[in-house]
Amino acid sequence: MVPPSRSSSADPANIGYGSGVELAGKTALVTGGGRGIGRAIAIRLAADGARVVVTGRTTAEIEDAARATGGVAMACDMADRTDIAALLTRLDAEVGRIDVLVANAGFAESAPYHATSDEAWDRMMAVNATAPFLLTRALVPPMAKARWGRVVVVASNAGRVGYAYTSGYCASKHAAVGLVRALAVETARSGVTVNAVCPGWVATRMVDETVRRIAVKTGRTPEQAMDDLRGMSPQKRLIEPEEVAHLVGLLCTEGSRGIHGQAIPLDGGQVMA
């Protein structure tokens, strides 16, 4: 069963890209950068002039993203502390200071609260909350010493409100947003900004998988399931990965240095509070 088209009225080709100089001389690390939102972010930051390091679990995907950005691919499983430690060692040896950290890698699994497994809970917490903590703990102090840095955690509007059948996901994304807010207080006078981006449903592979699950569990057609997801936004559409990348790129500019400690929704108006 193939999900229906995820396309919306927004044309990604019309979403503005960077100046080519805004991040010139800067190095950016994008986790989960091999596909979807992460790949779009990596391409955006490269367009803004950054040297981009792309991480992910799938070698072919991150190598392709590295070619697209002229950057570097480094494999890493963000659920594995040992892998993260090895990545940090390699970054220090081969790349040097990271100026921009985009903690984009994420993991989601849905189930009723009482049926959520320990394994699913632990992996969502590891990827969505612990990995950003480990990365910021290692990479933010050198940014602060240099008096400039940008940290953007790609969270979710599930980090701002609760949804049924996603207790582990909501808890982990709320934890990520809490980390951003606490870290922002500590770094406020350091020249480093720390923010979270909280998208709604984004037109990615995850949406395809969600549509399949909804169709199987509810008996709806894939078209009906996709309409349900679009209908959650007042704009009645999915967000495009390039829109998330645009916001991340904006947060990395010098002109956005006053945007700090925020969890910014990007969901067509779904969460307005």
Q: Whole-angstrom Cα distance, residue 250 to residue 272?
A: 20
Helix 131-146 vs helix 167-187: crossing angle, to nearest 10: 20
DSSP string, 172-194: HHHHHHHHHHHHHHHHTTTTEEE
In angstroms, the Cα distances linking 43 to 119, 130, 155, 249 are 33, 25, 19, 10
Sheet containing 192-199: order of strands: 72-75, 51-56, 27-30, 100-103, 149-154, 192-199, 263-266
Residues 6+ apart with CB under 8 A from 264: 195, 196, 197, 198, 247, 251
Q: What is the C-alpha to C-alpha distance for residues 127 and 206, in angstroms, rounded to an integer?
A: 15
* Residue 113 designated active-site: no
Name residue 152's beta-bridge partners.
Answer: 102, 195
**Residue of 17, 163, 165, 169 with catalytic role:** 169
Annotated catalytic residues are 169
